Chain A
Amino acid sequence: MVRFEKVSKWFDHFQVLKDIDLDVPTGEVLVVIGPSGSGKSTMLRTINALEPIQQGKIWVDDESIHDIPENKQHLVRRKIGMVFQQFNLFHNKTALENIIISPIQVSKMKPADADAKGRQLLERVGLPEKADAYPAELSGGQQQRVAIARALALNPKLMLFDEPTSALDPEMIKEVLDVMKDLAHSGMTMIVVTHEMGFAREVARRILFMDEGMIVEESTPDEFFTNPKTERAKSFLSKIL
């Protein structure tokens, strides 16, 4: 589904991604962890070309997204859902409108069909009664669940999660993680950048540990948490667990 080939990226003179190679098969739930500034969010954002890269190739569903001209990249992005740390719901739209705007505008779905689909998605994230609420009227956890529903609205083949629970109050983290777990169990291909070690352990098929723009360690959750191979992973885990 996603393949990185020797991908490097610089912010001015600072290299944030160093020769990343990665292969994410369809249906995999990949969790990316690492200290802040390790490049994990940046890596995630290069997958749907929110961030440009300077070297290498990224294949998404057999298309090399960074080789596509900017005015055609939206065609690839339609296959990729993304959930942001700050939710980024459209402030000028209700919960339902947030979800159905892209089916209507982007894939030209009939408004009535989109409406039905939007309500179904709200049901799926447990917020059927919030269809007409504006983002400002929802709690953080509710906003993030609407954001997940919005990301699912175009039936993406791949979902990207950029620290989806980091901006949430502790009591709201679970409701968001539950939705994500459901999604993982439904067979969705997911790449999740997170600090939620419990989630990583329970849901991930594979863990990627990044530091200083490199993939330092790659293993199954069991192996990673009980027996990390590298010193850097060990010291990281000792600090957070």
Chain B
Amino acid sequence: MEYLLQELFDPLVWQRTVGAYMPVFIEGMKNTLIISAQALVLAFIIGITSGVMRVSRTRWINRTATAYVEIIRNTPLLVQLIIFYFGLGPLFKNNQTIPLVLGLGVFTGAYVAEIVRGGIQSVARGQMEASLSVGMTYSQAMRLIILPQAIRRILPALAGQFISLIKDSSLVSVFGYPELTHAANRVTAATFRALVPSIFVAGVYFVICYSISQAIGLIERRTARSGQI
């Protein structure tokens, strides 16, 4: 215990493990944000599509989306990433990024789908009936009336999912993708010190995620004041 405290407050350790490797950490942070943003876009596309499919009355559409959501939510992310990485890797000429982005996007998409489904179901049934009564097709009603209202309501939940995604992206370090956690691993391997670089990296994750959640809270309060639900 004493040893831990000593190391934690030793400026020299910080200098040698964090200060000296700052470019590696910055590169890692950049890559964490990039891979998370890419996966987020993919997760949104997949999530909104499967969320809409989940409320479909056509059985096979509904069941396909349900199967996707259940499979993803009931298997570990790391195992999914391994499958994507080694399963799809060869397809992309061993491009490392694409299978990992796909893996993270498909994983987060399942959670986004459930949020979207909840959002759609929270929009009053009368909105759909009114849309149909003015001659819209089901898909026009969904696109023009139901989804815009649903998405406005679920924005906070989606932001939460984005925060989870940033944290989950640390798992791609396992495959040597040079993101933030991987940066800590590299420094550990080079300096034989794990504690300080890991604590530093945890701090960086915290700052990123906490800022996002605060920013969303602010936006939420502002839109709540304008009174539009």
Contacts and interface: CB of A to CB of B under 8 A. Distances in A.
Contact of B228 (A136, A147, A154): A136
Given A77-B135, A154-B135, A134 B228 contact: yes
A105 B228 contact: no
Contact of A90 (B135, B140, B145, B229): B145
A136 B149 CA distance: 14
A88 B126 contact: yes
A150 B132 CA distance: 12
A164 interface: no
A80 B133 contact: yes
Interface in B128-155: 129-138, 140, 144-145, 148-149, 152
B87 interface: no
A48 B135 CA distance: 10
Nearest to A80: B133
B149 A74 contact: no
A91 B144 contact: no
Given A84-B126, A106-B140, A136-B229, A101 B148 contact: no
A114 interface: no
B227 A136 contact: yes
Of A105, A137, A150, most B-chain CB atoms within 10 Å: A105
A102 B145 CA distance: 11
15 contacts: A50-B132, A74-B135, A75-B135, A78-B134, A86-B126, A89-B130, A90-B131, A92-B149, A92-B152, A105-B136, A105-B144, A106-B135, A151-B133, A153-B134, A154-B134
Interface of A: 48, 50, 70-71, 74-75, 77-78, 80-82, 84, 86, 88-93, 101-102, 105-107, 134, 136-137, 147, 150-151, 153-154
Interface of B: 124, 126-127, 129-138, 140, 144-145, 148-149, 152, 227-229
